[in-house]
């Protein structure tokens, strides 16, 4: 069974060789590696072409820069494999990763396999704690578990998973108008087709957290500018709408209403606290607070959640955010 591995490439000259080398070194050899050069302004285009010349399993797509979602969609249009993996160009894999994912997929006749991963920071690496214990799950179990912690990387990323190509070909593509949380929404919609999900505990993927050219890093920096911060808030609210609408479509909203709305409550509480630390003037901060207080989604969330649950979770998120802000302050100083 062939595995198609899609790697979007943009401003990854420092990391792309380590990434692709780790894919080529996989113990599982029946691979199709699709490098999507998303108009990268550095030397990535020639590096990708060099790999294609050296290994016939490597295909290269060169396109203008339109963002990671369209890059992945371009890769999906070219797949010929039975299974699909997504890899980010600044990350890398353990040699046994693809083999173990495929073995789990075939042994359990699963539609999705999820594995553990390592967070690779500048000074240390650590195992990211799994959300589920190793085992086999129905999609209804996973969807219920997601509502308890929808912000988890394990639910929100693509690269620790193996997908069936036949499900992806059912017009399942990334939403190009989203550039925040689009992977999470993609995973949710894939679960419509996944009757059985296999979870394996081994950390097989290295997630690199120190690339200053990464989208997440750039979004964090731009929160210091008012118009960029407002755009960031709009993206968070759009992600919530997509998340909530999915559960409504699946008929699971009413029974999980409090838990689903807690996603937006965490955004609301966290952003009100973080605003105090941003390099915005007093008037700009007031404008942001007013935007949050008057937002129809936030007003609806407050009206729908039970008061007891609202106050309990507000306190939890407040204390959690205070802990994060204090830690960041101590690190800076």
Q: Is 161 found in the same domain as 66?
A: yes
| 227 belongs to a structural domain | yes
Coil, helix or strand at residue 2: coil
- Comparing CA positions, the residue from 140, 157, 199, 165 lying closest to residue 83 is 165
Query: What pLDDT is stored for residue 45 in this prediction?
Result: 94
Q: Give the tens place of pLDDT for each residue, 97-112.
A: 999 999 999 999 999 9
Q: Which domain CATH number covers 143? A: 3.90.550.10
Domain count, the chain: 2
Tell whether the torsion through CA atoms of 206, 208, 209 and 210 is positive or negative. Answer: positive
Are 91 and 169 in a shared domain? Answer: yes
| 287 and 181 housed in the same domain | no
Residues 278 and 170 in one domain: no
CA atoms within 13 A on the CB side of 240: 23
Residue 257 lies in a domain: yes
Whose CA is closest to 90, among 151, 147, 18?
18
The answer to whether the pTM exceeds 0.85 is: yes
Residues in the chain with pLDDT values less than 50: 218-219, 222
Is 155 within the bounds of a domain? yes
Residue 77 lies in a domain: yes
Neighbours of 296 (CB within 10 A): 8
Q: Residue 258 sits in which domain range?
A: 223-332
Instruction: Give the per-residue pLDDT at 329.
Output: 66
Q: For position 26, what pLDDT does the model report?
A: 98
Q: Is residue 215 part of a domain?
A: no
One domain for residues 199 and 233: no
Query: What span, in angstroms and rounded, lies between the C-alpha atoms of 160 and 168?
Result: 16
If asked whether residues 33 and 135 sit together in one domain, one would say yes
253 inside domain = yes
Q: Give the closest residue to 242 by CA, choosing from 158, 156, 182, 154.
A: 182
Q: Which one, of 162, 248, 229, lies nearest residue 199 by Cα? A: 162
Residue 259 main-chain phi, psi, to 5 deg: -65, -40
Per-residue confidence (pLDDT) for residue 224, from 0 to 100: 60
Q: Which two tokens stand for residue 145?
A: 């578990």
Residues 242 and 167 reside in one and the same domain: no
The span from the first CA to the last CA of the chain, in angstroms, equals 53
With respect to residue 17, please indicate whether it lies within any of the assigned structural domains.
yes
Q: What is the pLDDT of residues 149-198, one digit of tens each?
A: 998 989 999 999 999 999 998 778 998 888 889 999 999 999 999 999 99
Q: Is residue 282 part of a domain?
A: yes
């Amino acid at each position: 069974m062939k595995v198609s591995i899609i790697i979007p490439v943009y401003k990854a000259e420092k990391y792309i060789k380590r990434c692709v080398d780790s894919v080529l070194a996989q113990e599982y050899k029946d691979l199709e590696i699709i490098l999507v050069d998303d108009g990268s302004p550095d030397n990535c285009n020639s590096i990708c072409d060099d790999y294609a010349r050296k290994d016939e399993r490597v295909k290269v797509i060169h396109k203008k820069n339109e963002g990671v979602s369209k890059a992945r969609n371009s890769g999906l249009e070219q797949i010929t494999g039975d299974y699909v993996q997504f890899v980010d160009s600044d990350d890398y894999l353990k040699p046994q990763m693809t083999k173990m994912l495929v073995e789990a997929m075939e042994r359990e006749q699963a539609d999705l396999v999820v594995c553990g991963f390592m967070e690779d920071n500048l000074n240390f690496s650590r195992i990211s704690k799994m959300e589920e214990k190793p085992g086999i799950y129905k999609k209804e179990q996973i969807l219920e578990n997601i509502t308890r912690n929808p912000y988890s990387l394990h639910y929100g990323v693509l690269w620790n998973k193996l997908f069936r190509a036949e499900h992806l070909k059912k017009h399942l593509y990334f939403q190009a108008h989203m550039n925040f949380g689009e992977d999470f929404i993609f995973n949710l919609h894939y679960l419509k087709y996944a009757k059985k999900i296999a979870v394996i505990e081994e950390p097989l993927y290295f997630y690199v957290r120190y690339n200053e050219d990464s989208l997440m890093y750039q979004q964090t920096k731009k929160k210091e500018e008012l118009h960029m911060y407002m755009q960031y808030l709009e993206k968070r609210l759009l992600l919530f709408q997509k998340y909530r609408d999915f559960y409504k479509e699946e008929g699971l909203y009413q029974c999980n209403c409090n838990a689903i709305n807690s996603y937006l409550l965490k955004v609301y509480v966290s952003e009100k606290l973080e605003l105090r630390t941003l390099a915005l003037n007093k008037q700009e901060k007031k404008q942001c607070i007013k935007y949050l207080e008057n937002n129809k989604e936030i007003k609806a969330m407050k009206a729908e959640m039970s008061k007891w649950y609202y106050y309990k979770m507000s306190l939890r998120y407040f204390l959690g955010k205070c802990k994060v802000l204090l830690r960041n302050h101590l690190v800076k100083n």
